[in-house]
Structure 1
Amino acid sequence: MRPVAAAKLFFVIALCTTYLISVSQIGPAIYESVVANETGFAAGTMIGSISIAALSKEEAVQKVQTKVNEWKTSAQLTLAYQEKTVAIPARLFSFRVEQSVQQAVDGRPSQLVVQLDKEAVSTLAAQLATPALASSLQFDKLVNDITKSAALLQRHREPFDLARYIGQQTTEKIAVSAGSITNLGEQKAEVIAWVDNHPSIEIKGKTVFSLAAYVKGMSSLAMSTIASAVYQAVLPTNFTVVERHTSRSLPDGIPLGYEAKVDGNISDLRVYNPNTTAYTLQFQTVGTGFRVTLYGLPFTYQYVIKMGEVEYFPPKTVVQYNPSLKPGERYVKAAGRQGMLVKVKKETYDESKQLIKTEVISEDFYPPVHAIEVRGLELGTTPTNETETPSSDKAQSNEQTKTPTQEEQPNESDQYEK
């Protein structure tokens, strides 16, 4: 009989233990449910950004649902990447109001349960970023941040920038544009030494970059050579050229339309990076020249730089008479150089290769340099101070931000020949 009695005793003890545990766990929940319905939630009870203190469960559900409906009609959440933005429709969010109220902790903040249509968000992101870029997107983190914003019923906030959800390693590997100077000439040693000491320069997001700070102590021509290559690299991007200058004559080795004069005093090359992420200029020597490559996230649009037809202005000849020369003798004191005018345009294309807009970036004008010829006096003539007035050259600024000084005037005794 002892085994039977022991079994009965064990059964009774197990039953009592189960009862006590059940009462201790279920009892408070039942009590809180009854009390919450009768007296309302305690002070400090929140669901997301909504206070439900002193409300019954039914009243809390009604209040939260009203706030959710208001949010759906006024919320403006967007995805963005560089110049492009796309709205996130409110219909992509599913709010679990009753579940949120059921899970509310009395006297404490609780989360508003929200589910987001991930597939739809992925489709929206694909409208902004290239497939290669979208594949490196930290998508789960993006969805989590959007969901948190909706759970707090934030109506107006800054766009969710896709650039912030792309790994830095991806950014550093993508070359987006480049510029080069193929023949450095007399500046080769100076420029190569600088390139070796400055393999890369970072242009931070939302900042203005000044090149003058990096080329101090160099000759003006060497500074301008480096600046021209940098200008060539940033031109086919969405960067804004804030300051850029040109010379009176196009320096040797610099392509027409790409000169950027820097002298360390007044003239500088400054560009603004409108993107939220940084871009890096990397320099490397190539043969007798050097190359500048811009690394960073790919641009939303494709930018194509086109040079217009070059207009040439032939130089005139300034004649100076020298009585020490025999009649008919002459020599060229200074050779002339023809003037040039070129219009530089930027064309912007979308992902479908459709032209969106065309804008004139600059009109670079280099006035002609007049030749100087010294001649002997002709028999029966005397020197004269009269000059032949040349036809007016195309007058316009040779710089984007500053007007160049006037060209040196010839001596009164000089004469012009066409």
Structure 2
Amino acid sequence: MRNQQVIKLFLVIILSITYIFSFSHFGALAYDSVINRSDEFAEGTTIGSVSVAGKTRNEAMKMVDEQLTDYLNETKITLKYKEKSEAFDLGLFHFDVENSVSKAKHGQANSVIVKLDTIEDVLISLSPSILDDIHLDEVQAAILNYAENLEPGNYEIRLDPYLTGTGSETTIAESVIESQFVENELDLFAGKSIEIPATSQFSLLKFVEDEIGAVSQGSLSKIATAIYDVILPTNFDIIERHISSELPAYASLGFEAKADIDLKNDLVFSNPNEFSYFIEFENKNDSLYVSLKGPEFLNKYVIISEDKETFKPKIIRQFNPMLGPTEIKVKVAGKEGQLIKIYREYRDEKGMVLKKELIAEDFYPPVHQVEVQGLIVKEGDSSTTIPNTDNGQVENQDGSSSSPNNSKDSSDPNSKTDLNNPDSSNDDELWGKENEIPK
């Protein structure tokens, strides 16, 4: 009985010694492990775009600071309001790396703590009146969103969605095809509305092919001219445009656009804006009105005509012995040629000219007048002479120019043209002289 008590006591002492030894040894290891690991971030922990899993706070601060340097060097944020853009100054950001690391939660995605200075001056540079129509807090939150992740890149923030107004449509420009030029074919366009989507390209020939069908060249050119007229006072880019050899009666100088399906003469332009515009056709008082509608532009686009020149036609004279000596008939009426340059001025809201660009330089060559005139036949002589006229310089049918006031005397045999004698002196001038070296 006594031996059993001794054995039990011995076992208790052994277990106690083992427990104390294990606690002191393994407890120290556990404590050391806990103490050392408490300064390292758990798996899945990120600060901005930086993964700091398994890193100490000091290591994490160094990594985030390096990422911040890359972000500031490689990031560009652009604010865009209608057709105007402005680069955002990254110096308006104030990053707090130390608090971002110290307050980061283990195993979670954490944003970088960053504050933003006032952005009112940046917005005013886009438009002096924008502060009255925009949700400022929402814009600041959108800008901060591109900073809290420290992800380098090029970002564009459109301000139009943050406006308090609805941005209703307005009539930008209007053109009219007068009633005397309206044909039945133009009724095919009445009531139509053509959408020019944001950042897209428009082709008149493709639209006609898809939506209208067969249209004559004359009617198509009138539509092209009206559309060209309404898109000129915009920032639309003219890609393809043609004009006729003579200015049509329905078009103003510098504002014609010719379209022809057979010749593939198209009117093509693009809308560079972030919103759609609409070209609408409406019949009013027997005239066809063409209008461009959409959000109002920020800038003003003024069309200016400059450097207009005119070119007088020449007189091309033909001779017909069937007419009387002083009889003159106009076969083709002459018409002056014209040249004009069309410029587009970009003006801001205050009216200051931002830039001026040449849009077109239209030239219509003169139409030379063709006159048919009789010949003078001397009595008792078969020779004829070219009658003197009061006209200025003329261009003969063979293309040479002459001035009647400076011509040789009609009594000079060299100035006569013998219509009945093929061996007259004019033959030498036509066929050349003997032993003449060919040119």
- Normalising by structure 1, we get a TM-score of 0.73
Deviation at 1:46, TM superposition (A): 0.8
Return 372-381 or 221-230, whichever deviates more: 372-381
Pick aligned residue for 2:186 from 191, 209, 232 = 191
Report the number of matched residues: 352
Deviation at 1:228, TM superposition (A): 1.2
Distance 2:120 2:162 in 1: 13
1:180–1:289 Cα contact (<8 Å) kept: no
1:233–1:293 Cα contact (<8 Å) kept: yes
Distance 1:347 1:390 in 2: 44
Deviation at 1:103, TM superposition (A): 4.8
Q: Are residue 354 (structure 1) and residue 352 (structure 2) matched?
A: yes
Pick aligned residue for 1:209 from 174, 197, 202 = 202
Deviations 1:322-350 (A, max 9, x none): 34444434433332222111122222323
Residue 276 of structure 2 aligns with which residue? Answer: 278
Distance 2:312 2:230 in 1: 31
1:94–1:114 Cα contact (<8 Å) kept: yes
Residue 370 of structure 1 aligns with which residue? Answer: 368
Pick aligned residue for 2:258 from 248, 261, 267 = 261
Deviation at 1:259, TM superposition (A): 0.4
After the TM superposition, which residues 221-260 of structure 1 pair with which residues of structure 2 at under 5 Å, given as runs?
221-260=218-257
Deviation at 1:311, TM superposition (A): 1.8
Distance 1:319 1:168 in 2: 69
Q: Would the alpha carbon gap of residues 168 and 248 (structure 1) be closer, same or farther in structure 2, given more than 3 Å must change?
A: farther
- Normalising by structure 2, we get a TM-score of 0.70
Deviations 1:44-94 (A, max 9, x none): 211221112112345434543453355346543232346643332334334
SS for the counterpart of 1:150 is: coil
Return 344-353 or 282-291, whichever deviates more: 282-291
What code does the residue aligned with 1:77 have? I
SS for the counterpart of 2:301 is: strand
Deviation at 1:306, TM superposition (A): 1.1
What code does the residue aligned with 1:354 have? M
- Runs (5+) with no aligned partner, structure 1: 1-30, 392-418
Structure 1 vs Structure 2 CA RMSD: 3.2
SS for the counterpart of 1:307 is: strand
Deviations 1:106-160 (A, max 9, x none): 223223333333xx223312211362x6544454443332211101113321322
Q: Would the alpha carbon gap of residues 314 and 39 (structure 1) be closer, same or farther in structure 2, given more than 3 Å must change?
A: closer
What code does the residue aligned with 2:188 have? A
2:127–2:349 Cα contact (<8 Å) kept: no
What code does the residue aligned with 1:267 have? N
What code does the residue aligned with 2:288 have? F
Larger radius of gyration: 2
Distance 2:65 2:397 in 1: 93
What code does the residue aligned with 2:221 have? S
Residue 302 of structure 2 aligns with which residue? Answer: 304
1:238–1:274 Cα contact (<8 Å) kept: yes
Q: Are residue 344 (structure 1) and residue 355 (structure 2) matched?
A: no
Distance 1:383 1:206 in 2: 69
2:96–2:112 Cα contact (<8 Å) kept: yes
Distance 1:102 1:296 in 2: 51
SS for the counterpart of 1:319 is: strand
Q: Would the alpha carbon gap of residues 310 and 219 (structure 1) be closer, same or farther in structure 2, given more than 3 Å must change?
A: same
2:189–2:281 Cα contact (<8 Å) kept: no
Residue 405 of structure 2 aligns with which residue? Answer: none
What code does the residue aligned with 1:243 have? E
2:315–2:368 Cα contact (<8 Å) kept: yes
After the TM superposition, which residues 112-123 of structure 1 pair with which residues of structure 2 at under 5 Å, given as runs?
112-117=112-117, 120-123=118-121
Q: Which has the higher contact order (CA 8 A, sep 6+)?
A: 1
Distance 1:99 1:249 in 2: 75
2:254–2:362 Cα contact (<8 Å) kept: yes
1:181–1:253 Cα contact (<8 Å) kept: no
SS for the counterpart of 2:345 is: strand
Distance 1:97 1:283 in 2: 60
Distance 2:397 2:100 in 1: 96
Residue 178 of structure 1 aligns with which residue? Answer: 173
Deviations 1:196-237 (A, max 9, x none): 2x1x21222333221112234211121111111211222222
Q: Would the alpha carbon gap of residues 289 and 389 (structure 1) be closer, same or farther in structure 2, given more than 3 Å must change?
A: farther
Residue 291 of structure 2 aligns with which residue? Answer: 293
Distance 2:83 2:330 in 1: 56
Distance 1:123 1:386 in 2: 72
Deviation at 1:358, TM superposition (A): 2.8
